[in-house]
Structure 1
Amino acid sequence: MQRQLANMKQSLFDQGYLDEQFIQLEELQDDANPNFVEEVVTLYYRDSARLIHNIDQAFIGAKKVKIECTQFREYCRTGNAEGCKKTFQQLKKEYATLKKKLEVYFQVARQAGPVEKACRPK
């Protein structure tokens, strides 16, 4: 069983899911707190899902960001680590892309001056 566990951990490292920080967490685990790493990981998923939910709730019309938030939250809820990782990377990408696009939009809006009425794009 120990060998199987070691192989699983090695696989997680080989696939890029874990790094040196995970080893550092394991080094903090001892007989007094034998489930330390599992508890930290559980808190990580709970807290990250909550934070993503907060981003989702602060929705400003960022459609692609909202879609990724919803998907990430679902992966966190089901414990799908691979889905979480992929979706989180996509969420960061969509967030950064939208931020850049809105910065340009507001720069042009300031130059254009006040708009009398909001209108929907066609």
Structure 2
Amino acid sequence: MVIKSLHLQVQEMRQSFFDEGYLNSQYTQLEALAKDTNPNFIIEIITLYFRDSPNGARSNRGTHDYQMHSSVRKQQRQASYNIFVICIGASKVFKELQKANTSLKASNTEGIKVALGDIKKEHSKLRAKFETYFQLMRQAGPTDVAVNSS
């Protein structure tokens, strides 16, 4: 009974990601890929995302002269981060990345600073949500439990 309740909580939490606009259909596609091959794939890929993604934003934090970095390097870093965010379906983070990219293209230093803060905020919210979600998933265990038909 407790396991069934935990699985229901996992489902409700997952749905809240979509209802609140944190995730989109890309995440559903990742889940479908993982189901047959590696049930821990989602946890692994999202954990990698959170482990690696702050590095790009951190390297810009505190830098007041944004022109010190070449625009090509920034755009490459931005593009690779965007691709990963798109792959996991992190909608809110992606929207903030688009704002930053617009400010970058316009050489709007203040806009970039604001956008980096907003990216960090959305990234932190998503990370906290996923940490709770994954913890609940681990507690609930696998969803495909064999049923005794006799």
Measure the CA separation in 1 of the matches of 2:95 and 2:72: 19
Q: Which moved more, 1:48-57 or 1:84-93?
A: 48-57
Structure 1 alignment gaps of length 5 or more: 1-18, 23-36, 117-122
Partner of 1:41: 67
Distance in 2 separating the partners of 1:42 and 1:74: 18
How many angstroms apart in 1 are the aligned matches of 2:80 and 2:141?
Answer: 33
Give the residue type in structure 2 aligned to 1:69.
L
Q: Tell me the CA shift for residue 50 of structure 1.
A: 2.6
Q: Could you tell me which of 66, 78, 94 is aligned with 1:66? A: 94
Deviation at 1:44, TM superposition (A): 4.7
Equivalent residue in structure 1 for 2:109, among 69, 75, 81 = 81
Moved over 3 A (4+): none
Give the conservation status (yes or no) of the 8 Å contact 1:53–1:73. Answer: no
For the aligned residue pairs, the C-alpha RMSD in angstroms reads 2.4
TM-score (ref. length: structure 2): 0.47
What secondary structure is seen at the aligned counterpart in 1 of 2:142?
coil
User: Greater Rg, structure 1 or structure 2?
Assistant: 1
Aligned partners of 1:83 and 1:64: how far apart in 2?
A: 17
Q: Give the paired residue count.
A: 81
Q: Give percent identity, aligned residues only.
A: 30
